[in-house]
Amino acid sequence: MSRPGFVLEVDAKTPPLMTMSGALLRLERLGVGTRVVYGPDADRSTDPVGLIDAALQAPLGVDPLAAQLSPATRLTLVLLDSDAPLPRPYFDPRRTLAERVLEQAARAGVDDVEIVVASGLRQRWSDAQVTRVLGDRVATSFLPDDLISSHDVTAETLVTIGDIDGHPVSVNARVADSDLLVVIGLRADHGQSCPLAEGITDLATVKRLGSADSEPEFGRQVCELIAAQIPVFSLVAVLGQPLLSHSLRFASRREWEWGLADRLAFAGARQTVAALPRRGAQLLHGTPRADYAVIDVIGGAHTAVMENARQVWRAANGVEVPGPADVLVTPVWGAAIDESDPIGNPLAAARHALVTQAGSNLGTPFVREGGVLIAQHPLRHRFSNRRHSAAADFFATVLPQTTDPDEIAARFELAAIDDAWYLDLYRKRFAPHPLRVFQDWYAIARATAPLADVIWVGADRRSAAVLGHRAASTAADALEIASGSVGFSPSITMLRGVGLVVGDVK
């Protein structure tokens, strides 16, 4: 069992600590009294088959999976895509989960089986991604017969299964026509109450789920409606912290425990990045791989599984933090944002800092209302022409006019989600749906609202200004800027780690 996380209070004897910014790794001395939150140690993965079989045979609230299968069963495996761990795993646990379910289906004589990726507004999966996640065995059995598909929120074949307060809810046609859904997912860091609802429903429903004035209760009701209309058996693997590849293993360890090999690897990484052109440095350290231990596998009724998985993940990765701080400092490492983008565009960086990192608490925020968030990222104005066209246009044309989420929703959202070019990229070229960038901004705006300021260290000043934030050259400069809101002796909490850590703020 790994060592639990803890909070280090910096004193005069504390060595320089590692910080992350884009693809860059640095050692910096932090101010005395700064509280640095370390996550639990990362463990190596072990074979999860025993845990999977136990979850299938003794599920929560429903009969064992084998008892629900017969030769006449129309079975659909739904792969949740909203919580894929980053950095990307060497071996995706969803492969073993799917294989064990398919083996039970084969023993029961089930021959009507399809796989649906609950991708929602995210980019649809290519054949290469299907093979990487599910393996050659599953891919070669299902892909040639078109038995693996990614959900399309704009498809004309969606089937209405009911309504909530007059709002009709439609889902993927294959899902609606199934006798049994087996939902396969990972609990790594997402906070959605029901990723299934966001992954397989229609555009109007997804739009309401993530609107500028989103209603958490509506998401719960959609999830309950799906489970009431279609039998659902969920199977979720709970993951630990990422253990990075050998060349970056030092980043998974505490600095005062670095050995000679760790120090040499860190020095080599810095020298290599300094010697390479910017693009080369991004490719070298921007897309690392990691190993993840499977802490537990939970199967059974969907709502019970998701809640239990959430509790297990929080118990395994939680750290008790003493009180909300005046200032929260969070690194933004590109490898933790987007597996296909080594650094991350400014919008992705903002979402990671404000929503994912700062929002990883158990109710009480890391930073007090009226406090300041300091994030470390270059915020370079770079977007993929193919994958991020909608985000690039949003950043270039929408945010310079207004950052107000209600105004953005009223003036710009409808035109973007009806844009033929954006939709073609989503349906055919593996880009996110254009609505996704709007919903990301709404989440960023909600997270920003309680703060007096958001300051980016080492960032492009124009990009920070477009976001409505500020930029500073150094951490000392950022604290000087923040002093106008929090004074000259603020309490400071810093999140340190490669993976996400849950903060139980007291």
- Express each pLDDT in 161-200 by its tens digit: 999 999 999 999 999 999 999 999 998 655 666 889 999 9
Q: Is residue 114 part of a domain?
A: yes
Residue 317 has a pLDDT of 86
In a domain, 270, yes or no: yes
Report how many domains make up the chain. 2
CB neighbours of 358 closer than 8 A, spacing ≥ 6?
328, 330, 365, 366, 367, 373, 447
Residue 275 falls inside a structural domain: yes
- 299 lies in some domain: no
To the nearest whole number, what is the mean pLDDT of the chain?
91
List the CATH number of the domain containing 61.
Answer: 3.40.50.11440
Q: Is residue 397 part of a domain?
A: yes
Print the domain residue range for 179: 49-239
pLDDT at 93: 94
On the question of pLDDT at 461 being above 60, the answer is yes
Return all residues near 366 (Cβ < 8 A) that are at least 6 apart.
321, 324, 325, 328, 358, 493, 495, 503, 505
Tell how many helices (H) and how many strands (E) occur in the chain.
18, 22
User: Scanning the structure block, which residue is given the tokens 């973007």?
Assistant: 416
pLDDT at 417 over 90: yes
Q: What is the pLDDT of residue 20?
A: 85
DSSP β-ladder status, 180-187 and 167-171 = unpaired
100, containing H or E segment? helix 93-107
Distance in angstroms (rounded) separating the CA atoms of residues 322 and 299: 34
Task: Report pLDDT for 87.
Answer: 84
Which CATH number do you get for residue 363? 3.90.226.30
**Does 276 share its domain with 334?**
yes
Distance between CA 306 and CA 313 in Å, rounded?
10
Coil, strand, or helix at residue 4? coil
pLDDT at 21 over 70: yes
- Environment class of residue 373 by beta-carbon count within 10 Å: exposed (0-12), middle (13-18) or buried (19+)? buried
Q: Which of 239, 270, 301 is the last residue of a domain?
A: 239
The two structure tokens encoding residue 340:
């296909």
Name the pLDDT band for 342 (thresholds 50, 70, 90).
Answer: low
pLDDT above 70 covers a percentage of the chain that reads 95
Let me know whether 271 and 154 are in one domain. no
Q: Which amino acid is at 486?
A: V
Decide if 472 contacts 372 (C-beta within 8 A): no
240 in Cβ contact with 293 (< 8 Å): yes
pLDDT value of residue 274: 66
Same domain, 167 and 257: no
Cβ atoms within 10 Å, residue 225: 19
pLDDT digits (tens, 9 = 90+) for 220-230: 899 999 999 99
16, 91: one domain = no
Q: How does DSSP classify residue 252?
A: G
Residue 44 resides in a domain: no
Highest mean pLDDT among 27-41, 53-67, 266-280, 323-337: 53-67
Same domain membership, residue 132 and residue 227: yes
Assess whether 94 and 24 both reside in one domain: no
- Beta 24-28 vs 17-22: how paired, if at all? antiparallel
Is residue 202 packed enough to be buried (19+ CB in 10 Å), middle (13-18) or exposed (0-12)?
buried
Confidence of residue 282 (pLDDT cuts 50, 70, 90): low
Residue 292 lies in a domain: no
Co-location of 25 and 59 in the same domain: no
CB atoms within 10 A of CB 66: 12
Strand order in the sheet with 112-118: 148-150, 112-118, 74-80, 180-187, 232-239, 294-300
Structure confidence at residue 284 (pLDDT): 57
Assess whether 220 and 367 both reside in one domain: no
Average pLDDT on 112-135 reads: 95
- Establish if 129 belongs to a structural domain: yes
pTM for the complete prediction? 0.94
Separation of alpha carbons 122 and 435, rounded Å: 10
pLDDT tier at 2, thresholds 50, 70, 90:
confident
- 108: its two tokens: 């029961």
Task: State the pLDDT at residue 269.
Answer: 79
Q: What is the mean pLDDT of residues 109-136?
A: 95
Phi/psi zone of residue 426: left (φ > 0), alpha (ψ -120 to 50 degrees), beta?
A: alpha
Closest CA to 199 of 121, 282, 311, 293: 121
Cα atoms found within 13 Å of the Cα of residue 135, Cβ hemisphere only: 13
Note the pLDDT tens digit of each residue in 463-493.
999 999 999 999 999 999 999 999 999 999 9
DSSP string, 153-204: TT-TT-EEEEEETTEEEEE-HHHHT-SEEEEEEEESS---S-HHHHHHB-HH
414: Cα separation from own chain's centroid: 26
Helix axes 49-57, 93-107, angle to 10 degrees: 50
